Every structure is written in structure tokens, then in C-alpha cells.
Amino acid sequence: RIGTAALAVQVVGSNWPKPHYTLLVTGLCRFQILQLLKEKPYPIAEVQQLDRLEQFTNGHKSEEELGELSEQFYKYAVQLVEMLDMSVPAVAKLRRLLDNLPREALPDILTSIIRTTNQEKLQILDAVRLEERFKMTIPLLVRQIEGLKLLQKTRKSKQDDDKRVVAIRPNRRITHGSITEDEEEEEDHDDVVMLEKKIRTSSMSEQALKVCLKEIKRLKKMPQSMPEYALTRNYLELMVELPWNKSTKDRLEIRAARIVLDNDHYAMEKLKKRVLEYLAVRQLKNNLKGPILCFVGPPGVGKTSVGRSIAKTLGREFHRIALGGVCDQSDIRGHRRTYVGSMPGRIINGLKTVGVNNPVFLLDEVDKLAKSLQGDPAAALLEVLDPEQNHSFTDHYLNVAFDLSQVLFIATANTTATIPPALLDRMEVIQVPGYTQEEKIEIAHRHLIPKQLELHGLTPQQIQIPQVTTLGIITRYTREAGVRALDRKLGAICRAVAVKVAEGQHKEAKPDRAEVGEGEDCKEHITEDAKAESITDTADLSLPPEMPILIDFHALKDILGPPMYDMEVSERLNQPGVAIGLAWTPLGGEIMFVEASRMDGEGQLTLTGQLGDVMKESAHLAISWLRSNAKRYQLTNASGSFDLLDNTDIHLHFPAGAVTKDGPSAGVTIVTCLASLFSGRLVCSDVAMTGEITLRGLVLPVGGIKDKVLAAHRAGLKRIILPQRNEKDLEEIAAHVRQDLTFVLAAGLDEVLNAAFDGGFAAKASLEHFNSKL
Ligand code: ADP
């Protein structure tokens, strides 16, 4: 019931890799607990100060005895201090303190300096009476003096050097024999010895071993209260834990790899083929210094999950490193070990986590690395990914080289545009385009639905999702290149059904109310309404739902709400001045409505929808071409003049105004849209187009054709106008998608306009030619 009051003056430490804190406190006085007021969350008690009180209370009792005791104590203390090296400032100061401090304070101070066990220290703290305290401390002093004498004898020949340290905190190994009950300190000491042993037996590189041994030498001499103690110890523990030489054995068999890849993923043939080639080369030639694979494609197309499958086929550990938003190079390469809280980078951390030196590291979202004042993380990644350099990758925290050459790196990105060129140069880009509707249906039924059922504890006997419903979800509730939103929607359906099933089970427990009225063979259209009710009407508990619960369009609407996307295309093309373009974004292809209107004015062109410079130039090009060809196509402004901008202002708008757009591929769409505006004719509602234009009316090729075509297919369009030189890109498109669409390959704008309008867009070239002859 006795304690010591103290003031915490400093707290240092960190939570990494495990919580380790050091408190620096100033002791104030002893106290006694009178009454415990509260125990939780921390104890609160009423206390009474004890220190020095007894001097006054029973001071008269044996002043002399105390005087004698304190005199004796003082002598021993002086003897002890004088055995130490007086040239050390701390010792000299201690010597002065012995004379200056009041004698009553000395037992406490000396006990903290000499070598004692924690228990002995506690006993001294518990000794409230000064006399008792003196009596208890004297034997400790004597013991220390004897220890030092012994030490000096053994070390007489080679003196001084370690004396200072030895003196203040006598060297453990030497005093070990003389002091036996020193348990706690021994324990720490044991830890350090264990650590040293681990370091010596670990398989770290020679260079690392040298550094570690040096550090452990420092650690042994360091007082534990020093913040650096924890730092050094953490460092050494990490060094021991790192898998310097530990690896999993590759079990690679191409046939098995093909099966794993096929089982885990539907479609993505090109990607799987390339991955298999890569693995085959690895099998033939061990230790491949090959390129780093980089999967580029919209979100949710399975890039990460292919990475995981690769690890599975190789029998390797898998670790994902998310690089999105990383803007500090020390995230990759670690902080220097100069301040509290410094850490190794993600690469070394990842290796520690997986515990082997040949995992598969998936560098996710390399296109989203950012630069900042803290350096460029992409530059740090260069070293990691370069097979010529990465066998001696040096993390700032480790400060010794670690061999990364066995690690298999795979990167993923949404676009190559924002990957720094030097980094891109080291990677082999494999495009992973979005899926077609048919592929999505297959993926849903083969992979996503079974996975969701398992996640929600459902069985196919309880829920049935027909393919038409899946198609409904894909077309009406999602508009994406990948399958992530689809997966989420399926999850929502499973949750709703899980509620019903759980309720049903609850009711089956009360059989008197259970009454199954609906026939087994009731088909969709008959039971639709009843089922829709059973899904939604939670108040009605009279009937357990019929199993399996069939998810039809009604149920879909109840669970997911009204459809989010409609086939809006035809609706928006019911007036002149609208055309559908195809755009490529990092999230896949998209269709884009371009709108134009004209009004009285002074020939100004207004562009809205956050357009980039290239797009603005396309708009100017389109207008110039139309103006120069106005007569040929009989295009007039509102007052019938062939000078299209005469007294006319034009406004072009690209919807989804919040998204910045740029690129040359909208050229043909702008021309078509303006041609429609000035001719007053409607563009066919099922045509979409893409292509760059020139001033002479040529159509130049553009990128992202596959994604764009898929987007048009998703939106239910039928005819697509593409630059002729993009014909080769059509080969990549699945046959069934190609079947659904008509492709018009245009070399010039004449062909584009002809294909975009019903009945063509005839030029009056011959007539004009004839006229001019007259
Ligand atoms: P990404 O990394 O491309 O953004 P993910 O790999 O996270 O996408 O994939 C999202 C989800 O879609 C995962 O659950 C994955 O299993 C599933 N998925 C994507 N493509 C396929 C496919 N072809 N076959 C089976 N599942 C797929």
C-alpha cells in the first residue's frame, strides 16, 4: 500500500513493430494509500505523503543512531564512488552530490545507481523509515564494492577503457558470478543474448551480419531507458525476421497452371495466354530476368485476381502492395533510422509479412503514384523492378542490401498514360479490356454467384437467379467495363434473400402457421407478383417463401430499386444537332452524346463540358471543314447563307460536364453533329463513331477501339463508324459482338457523313462542278 509519486517528463517509443515505450519520470515522494476510490479505467486513491515525515515524528528517538548510520553509509558511498573513474564527468558529479545532498536522500539515489535487482529497489522504496532504509542499503553498497574490487583484480592488466561503463553499470558478464539474484535484468540480458544468438544463426548476408553484430554490441552497452535502445532492438528483430534465405519451392507445371487459370477466370484469353507463356519460360529457364508484367485495364476486370492465381499456380506466397496515392519515396524505400518511428518501406515490410524471399508481389495501381516534396516514389520503384539492380536493393531503414531478384513482381494499372515513362519501359504491358455482356453473364454464373452464395450462407436450393435476370442487372443496374458493380448487386440480392430464408426457417419452427400454397411448377409469370411480395413484404410472416426463391424482374426491382440506366439513346437523338461519339476513359469505353445548337450572334464558338486543348482544336477543325464544304453539302445557317458563322453563334456541349475530356478522337462526332445541325437532319439513332479528323477531311486512326466498341455494344447501338486504319483492331473483338454490330470503316469525312445519316448525306459535288463550268 506504499507507492512513489512521480512526474512523467518524457514519453518516447513507438507502436512499431510492437508497442515499446520508455518513460522518463522524476520521483517526488513516497506515499501511502488511505482509500481506494476507483479501480477502473485506472486506479484513483486518496493518498498521504510519507517522505521525511518520520524525521519529524520520531526524530528525537535516536538522532544519534541515525547520525551514525548515515555517517557509515556516507563512508561506503564515498568509497564506492572513488573506486570509479573520476575523469568521467558523471562520476565527478556524483562525488560532489554526495557532499551536497542531504544525507536522507542518499539511499534512494545510490540504490538507483548501483547494481540491484528490481525487487531490492522496491524494498528500498517500501522502507518508509529512514533508519530502515539506511540499514537496507548499506549491504547493497558493500556488495557492490566487493564486486568492483573483484573486477579490478581481474582486469588489472588492461585497464581503464571500459572502466567507465563497467563502473556505472558493471559489465554483466563479469559480475555475473558475484550477483546471482539479479533476475529481471538477467532476463533482458538473456533477451539480448538470445537476439545475438539468433543473429549468428540466421542466414543473413555477410554484410548484414557485420552490421547486426556491431549494433548488438552497441545495444549491450546502452541503458534501456535510452530511446535508441528500442529503435536498435526493433531494427535487429526485423533483421532476424527477414527471409534472407528462406523461400518456397516453386511447383510449376504448365498444364496445371492452365487449369488453375481457366478454373479461376472465365474469358480473358489473351491475358491467360501471355501469362502461360511467361510461366513456361520460367519453367524452362530458372531465375528468369524477364520483364515485369503489367496488367492494364478498367477496374473490376480481374487484374488482381489473375495475380493471385499466378501465385497459386507457382505455389508462392502472394502479397499485394497498394500504391494508389503513394507520394513519398520512403514509402517504397523506408525511412532512415535516425528518428523515432522510422520504418522500412513497403517492399521490405511485405517480405517480412510473407516470410519468404520469393513471393509474388502485386504492385497495385502503379498509374496512381504521385510526386511530392518527399521525392518521387516511381523513381524508387525503378530500382525495385530493374532485374539488373534489384539483387542489391537497399532500403534506407535496413541500410544493407537485400536481394529482391527472386521476387516475382506484377503490376496493375488503369491506364498507361500516367505511368512514368521510365517505369513503363521496364514493364511489359498486357491490356485487359472490359467484358462483353455475354462474358459477364458467364462470369456471374460460373464465379460471382457461387461466391456470393457461399459468402451469405445460401445454397442453390434456396435461391435461383436465371440468366435473363443477370442480363437485366448488367444492362439496367450497371454500366461498367468490369464486373465489380455486378458483384455488388448480386451481393445485395443474396442479402435480401438471406433475410427471407432466415425468416422462413423461423417460421418452419412453428409448423401450425406454415402453409405452402403455391404449386411446385408455378412458372415465373404466374408467381411473379406473389414472389415479389414475399421478397418485400416483411410484415407478412404468414407464408414461408417457396424454395428456391426465384429472382425475376419484380424481385430485382424490389431489391435494387428502379433501374438506373435506360436505353436512352433513341430518345436523345430526336432533334438535329446531336450525335453519339465513343470515348475511352481509364474506366473503360463510354458512349458520349455531343450536342450542338446555334443562335443569332457574331460567329462565336462556345465549347462547354471541360474540354482539353486537343478537343477544342478538333472543334475548330470541324467547323472550318464544314464551312469550306458548306456549298458542297448544301449546309446553310438560319438565314440561308452558306457562310455558316454569318450572324450565327454555335454552342457545342459534351455532357458529363464534371469530367475533364481530352483527345482527338471526337473529331468525326463533332463534324457529324454540326452537319446535322446545319442540315436540319437527324443522325441515325443507332450509330456511334470515333476518329480524328484533318483539315482536308481525312479520318485518322485512334486508340482504345476495343473498349469503345464494347461500350457501344453495351449501350445497344448497332452501327459503328471507325477510321479505316483501325480495321486491324477489330480482330481483337469477340466474334459474337462483331456479329451484333455493323462496322463502317471510313477514310474520309464524306464516308462518315454518308453512314451517319439515314439515306446517306449526298454531296452536290457534281452539280457544283457543272455549275462552275457555266
Ligand atoms: P481489378 O484488379 O481488375 O480491379 P479484381 O481482380 O479485383 O479487379 O476483380 C474483381 C472481382 O471480379 C474479383 O472478385 C474477381 O474474382 C472477379 N472477376 C473479374 N474477372 C473475372 C473473370 N474473368 N472470371 C472470374 N471472376 C472474375
Which residues are CB-contacts of 409 (< 8 A; sequence separation ≥ 6)? Answer: 292, 360, 361, 363, 384, 385
Cβ distance 137 to 110 under 8 Å? yes
Provide the pLDDT for residue 53: 52
Q: Residue 756's CB: how many other CB atoms inside 10 A?
A: 29
Average per-residue pLDDT for the chain: 80
Residue 162 scores a pLDDT above 50 = no
pLDDT in tens, 751-772: 898 888 888 777 765 444 445 4
Catalytic residue among 163, 531, 706, 708: 708
Which residues are CB-contacts of 397 (< 8 A; sequence separation ≥ 6)? Answer: 235, 238, 334, 335, 336, 337, 342, 343, 344, 345, 348
| Closest ligand 1 atom to 483 CA | 12
pLDDT in tens, 663-677: 788 899 999 999 998
Provide the pLDDT for residue 487: 94
How many Å apart are CA 148 and CA 175, to the nearest integer?
Answer: 8
Cell 529481471 -> residue: 184
Query: Which comes out higher in pLDDT, residue 676 or 61?
Result: 676
Residue 380 scores a pLDDT above 90 = no
Cβ distance 674 to 708 under 8 Å? no
Residue 493 scores a pLDDT above 50 = yes
Confidence tier at 507 by pLDDT (50, 70, 90): low
Residue nearest to atom 24 of ligand 1 (CA): 265
- For the entire predicted model, the pTM comes to 0.64
Residue nearest to atom 26 of ligand 1 (CA): 265
Q: Which of 262, 275, 447, 449 to mutate to test the pocket of ligand 1 (most atoms within 8 A of CB)?
A: 447
Q: Which of 263, 301, 363, 454 to mutate to test the pocket of ligand 1 (most atoms within 8 A of CB)?
A: 301
pLDDT in tens, 225-260: 777 788 888 889 889 989 988 888 877 788 888 888
Residue nearest to atom 17 of ligand 1 (CA): 302
pLDDT in tens, 539-590: 444 455 667 788 888 888 888 888 887 655 555 567 888 898 988 877 778 8
Ligand 1 touching residue 757 (CB < 6 A): no
pLDDT in tens, 425-436: 888 898 888 888
How many Å apart are CA 349 and CA 402, to the nearest integer?
Answer: 12
Class of residue 371 by CB neighbours under 10 A (exposed 0-12, middle 13-18, buried 19+): middle
| Closest ligand 1 atom to 446 CA | 25
| Residue 557 annotated to the active site | no
Q: What string of DSSP letters covers 710-747?
A: HHHHHTT--EEEEEGGGGGGGGGS-HHHHHH-EEEEES
Provide the pLDDT for residue 444: 93
Catalytic residue among 330, 665, 676, 706: 665
**Percent of the chain whose pLDDT exceeds 70:** 84
Residue type, 112: S
Q: Where are the alpha helices (DSSP H) in 473-612?
A: 484-508, 524-536, 553-560, 569-572
For the chain, list the domains and their CATH numbers.
1-51 (no CATH), 65-153 (no CATH), 202-241 (no CATH), 254-431 (3.40.50.300), 435-502+545-566 (1.10.8.60), 568-756 (3.30.230.10)
Ligand 1 touching residue 443 (CB < 6 A): yes
Of the candidate ranges 79-93, 281-295, 433-447, 479-493, the one whose mean pLDDT is the lowest: 281-295
Ligand 1 touching residue 267 (CB < 6 A): yes
Between the alpha carbon of residue 750 and those of residues 386, 672, 717, the distances in Å are 50, 10, 21
Ligand 1 touching residue 265 (CB < 6 A): yes
Provide the pLDDT for residue 461: 86
Of the candidate ranges 136-145, 331-340, 598-607, the one whose mean pLDDT is the lowest: 331-340
Between the alpha carbon of residue 320 and those of residues 317, 354, 364, the distances in Å are 10, 11, 7
| Closest ligand 1 atom to 265 CA | 24
Provide the pLDDT for residue 767: 46
Residue 65 scores a pLDDT above 90 = no
